[in-house]
Structure 1
Amino acid sequence: MADFLDSILGIDSDSLTWWQMSIRAVLVFIVALIIMRIGNKRIFGKQTAFDIVLGIIYGSVLSRAITGNSPFWPTLAAALVLVLLHRFLAFLAYNTEGFVGPFIKGNPVCLIRDGELKEDELRKHNLTENDLNEALRNGGVTSVREVKTAYLERSGEISIVKKDS
């Protein structure tokens, strides 16, 4: 059975046929979904730098399994290790105080407090007033004076809390 599977996947072949690569693609897709279920739901949900890095590396590793640029089974194992590493680091970030969480996920940054714009924070994070004004409009606010707080979140989005009327 193992020889048959190796033949279908082109394991010992120097070049892959279109159908071997297609079968690999289907198998990698199914295995990738299973591996992602072993991870957690937030892997590709929040889109923090932590999650984006995993997505880029994960896709790159799995593509090598499809195209035959790396050994098939070890490449799938590496993809599993990446997802388990992500899960472990997320666990550490959640369960430890101090350095780990902020290093992995970052910290939110206050851009506006009580209607006062923090221009030094905008400058430090390369945000223009136009960027901030866009976020304000998306939040249903027309003026900085209407904002209780605005934060540059760990995901890179700007969240806004309006002042009470």
Structure 2
Amino acid sequence: MSFRAVGVFFAALLIIRIGNHRIFGKNTAFDIVLGVIYGSVLSRAITGNAPFWPTIAAAFTLVMLHKGLASLAYHTNFGLGNIIKGKPKILVKNGELQRETMASSSVTENDILEALRSAGHKPDISNISAAYLERSGNISIICSE
């Protein structure tokens, strides 16, 4: 099993390098789904619960599917990127909390205050021109100061 693990490690590294580093770097739902499935598929190759080479081929296919969909989303203008990757949601507009959006996204006022502090701003929502829940799950803040 140790030899299989080493083989899977190098195969996975090669496949990820072919696919693109952003698969695990951005953390959109699109990327996380691939990460979970990719790990599950490769674990079968390590433990021997599935044939080695077909499992590596399946992992490669998943990464290429991810890369292809990401490329398609980039090159099309009909909103495919928003469907696959999501789109940002406005949480604060001109100093006013957008409570419906916050509730549907499970974001609290404390989450917004934390994002303000993390960005080096005073924790005062009235100074926010706009705050967005980004596709990655991070909160970005544009202050009016």
Identify whether the pair has TM-score above 0.5, normalized to the shorter chain.
Answer: yes
CA distance in 2, matches of 1:141, 1:56: 37
Q: Is the contact between residue 147 and residue 162 of structure 1 (CA under 8 Å) also seen in structure 2?
A: yes
Aligned to 2:71: 91
By how many angstroms is 1:150 displaced?
A: 0.6
Q: Is the contact between residue 61 and residue 79 of structure 1 (CA under 8 Å) also seen in structure 2?
A: yes
CA deviations on 1:116-159 (whole Å, 9 max, x unpaired) are 22112111212222222222222223111111111000011100
CA distance in 2, matches of 1:90, 1:121: 26
Q: Is the aligned partner of 1:163 residue 2:116?
A: no
User: Whose Rg is larger?
Assistant: 1
Identity %: 59
Q: Is the aligned partner of 1:119 residue 2:88?
A: no
Aligned to 1:5: none
What SS does the corresponding residue of 2:106 show, helix, strand or coil? coil
TM-score by length of 1: 0.83
Aligned to 2:122: 141
Alpha-carbon RMSD: 1.1
Deviates more, 1:138-147 or 1:31-40: 138-147
Q: Is the aligned partner of 1:108 residue 2:81?
A: no
Aligned to 2:31: 51
What SS does the corresponding residue of 1:161 show, helix, strand or coil? strand
Q: Is the contact between residue 109 and residue 151 of structure 1 (CA under 8 Å) also seen in structure 2?
A: yes
Q: Is the contact between residue 93 and residue 101 of structure 1 (CA under 8 Å) also seen in structure 2?
A: yes
By how many angstroms is 1:41 displaced?
A: 2.0
What SS does the corresponding residue of 1:36 show, helix, strand or coil? helix
Superposition map of 1:5-84 within 5 A: 21-84=1-64
Runs of 4+ in 1 over 3 A off after TM superposition: none
By how many angstroms is 1:110 displaced?
A: 0.9
Q: Using CA pairs below 8 Å that are at least 6 residues apart, which structure has the higher relative contact order?
A: 2
Q: Is the contact between residue 141 and residue 147 of structure 1 (CA under 8 Å) also seen in structure 2?
A: no
CA distance in 2, matches of 1:141, 1:95: 39
Aligned to 2:131: 150
Number of residues of Structure 1 aligned to a counterpart in Structure 2: 144
What SS does the corresponding residue of 1:97 show, helix, strand or coil? coil
CA deviations on 1:55-90 (whole Å, 9 max, x unpaired) are 000011001001000111100000000000000000
By how many angstroms is 1:99 displaced?
A: 3.6
